[in-house]
Every structure is written in structure tokens, then in C-alpha cells.
Amino acid sequence: MAKVILPADMGQLWEAMEAHPEARLYAGGTDLLVRLRAQAGPPPALVCLERLEELRIIEERGGELFLGAGATHAQILEHPKVRGRLPVLARALASLGSPQVRNMGTLGGNLVTASPAGDSLPPLYVLGAEVQLISRKAGRRLPITEFIKGPGRVDLNPGEVVAGVCLPKSEGWTLQHFEKVGRRDALAIALVSLAALLRLSSEGVVEEARLAWGSVGPTVMRAPQAEAALKGRPLGLASLGEAAELAGQALTPIDDLRASASYRRRVAGNLLLRLAEREA
């Protein structure tokens, strides 16, 4: 059995990481502990982050909203600033797993797992999230598009931990939408998901569109051509249909046991078409 270390503050965390450089870090463990069961042997040590209040902060910072990596999905979902200002993220978190998973799993875990099916990730992409990374001696920020490199691959240096994400002010969006399609109604891993931010004029013309799909590529994918096709046009089936066709050309899903690539492309476009219903 692996040794489990429970630092009570950041100082103890840095000491534990220096003493056990091969240790695996976790908070809720909803992803990591499941994966460890499938491995041949346990890691040299586990460092549990759940007692570190510094990583659970949710607060305004200089006009940005900071979401701590150690905050659980349930804590973020229930926060009034998230519900009031970021409904696209709230909708995604409400559909994530079960109440038990939302109460244990953390935002940082979703980021570091870097699954293209991670429910919190498409909203973070369209919201322009930046990932805050810290070590004992330094810190840095990366756009989420640069932090996540591929399935299970992130730009995290030895000695660094994810402190949280910084979200710029998100105001003036007429429509914030998240939807996913899975093989069942509850506890579903997304076959395809879509996060969308739309800013419309008083006449219903699209002034800006941000679209991000999950489970249709090695990472969450944007489709700039589809976004551009909507801009300057009334939001309706005609403009959305053209955008859906362009998105289908840009997305790169794969065939796997859960769905075929062609099915995922079709569903990705259909999710975009459903925005016409939301606006109506």
C-alpha cells in the first residue's frame, strides 16, 4: 500500500513534494484512485490536497473570478457568483457525474486528468480561462488551451501544482449554453458536449460567438470557421446549419466503443442547431 501524506498547509505540501518527488497528488480522488486500481502496483506515495484551504478559495481578484483547484464541483456549482455570472459553467457542473462525485471531485482534478470528455472543460475554453500554476518559489499563468496538451497530458513542471483558474469578467452574453449527449440520462460520460456563448444585438444578429466541443478530438475543440459564419447574421436555422457544417469539417472525433466518429460529427452539429430553440 502506498504511503499517504496529508499536508495541512502549503509549506508542508512543498516539503512532501521535495521528499517524495515521485508521489502522485490528488484531492477528491474520483479519477486518480480509479486509475490506480488498474495499475500493476501502487505509486511510491500519495499526497492528498484536501486539507489545503489555500486551494479551495473562490473569490474576485482584480475583476477576475478565481476558482481554486481544490474546490469541489459542488462548491463551485453552489457559489452565487458562478450561478449568477457563469451559467454555462454551472450547467456543465450540474450534469457532471453524481452528487457523490460532485461532492468529492475537484476542478483541479478535472483539469489535470485532461480528458476531452471532461464536463467542466468546454465552458472554461469559451470563458477564456487561464490556469494558475504555483511552486515553492514561483508562479505562472497559462491559457487553458496551452495548459492542456492532450488526453492526460498537461504543461505541469516538476514541483508545480495547479492553484486554480482565473476567469475574466463574462458580461453581455445573451446566451450561455451547455449541453451534452451520453448513452444514458445520468452518470453519463459525454459522447459529445457543446459549450456556447453568444452575444446578440437587439435585432437578434450575432455579434460574437464562442463555441467549444468536448469528446470530438484529443482536446476540447473550437471551430473558428463556425464562429465566424454566425457573426453578423441573425441566429436561426440557416446560419446555425452553415456553422454546423463547418464545425463538422473542423472537428476530429474518433471511433471507439461508445460511438463512431460520424455519429459524433452529426451530434456535434445537431447540438449547435438546438441553439435556435434556446433563442426562440
> Which residues on neighbouring strands pair with residue 60, listed in sequence order?
65
For residues 262 and 187, state if they share a domain: yes
Please give the tally of structural domains in the chain. Answer: 3
Domain end, chosen from 13, 33, 48, is at 48
The CATH number for 154's domain is 3.30.465.10
CB environment 133-162: b (16+ within 10 A), e (fewer)? bbeeeeeeebebbebbeeeeebebeeebbb
pLDDT of residue 280: 42
For residues 129 and 179, state if they share a domain: no
For residues 13 and 95, state if they share a domain: no
Confidence of residue 35 (pLDDT cuts 50, 70, 90): confident
User: To which H or E segment does residue 230 belong?
Assistant: helix 224-230
Confidence of residue 279 (pLDDT cuts 50, 70, 90): low
Tell me: the pLDDT tens digits for 223-239? 999 999 999 999 999 99
For residues 269 and 215, state if they share a domain: yes
**What is the C-alpha separation between 194 and 197, in angstroms, rounded?**
10
Q: Which range marks the domain in which residue 117 is found?
A: 53-167
User: To which H or E segment does residue 145 belong?
Assistant: helix 144-147
Domain end, chosen from 167, 183, 211, is at 167
Domain end, chosen from 144, 167, 190, is at 167
pLDDT of residue 185: 52
For residues 58 and 132, state if they share a domain: yes
**What is the C-alpha separation between 120 and 150, in angstroms, rounded?**
16
For residues 203 and 267, state if they share a domain: yes
Confidence check: pLDDT of 74 > 50: yes
For residues 114 and 154, state if they share a domain: yes
User: Which of 8-12, 27-31, 61-65, 248-252 is most confident?
Assistant: 8-12
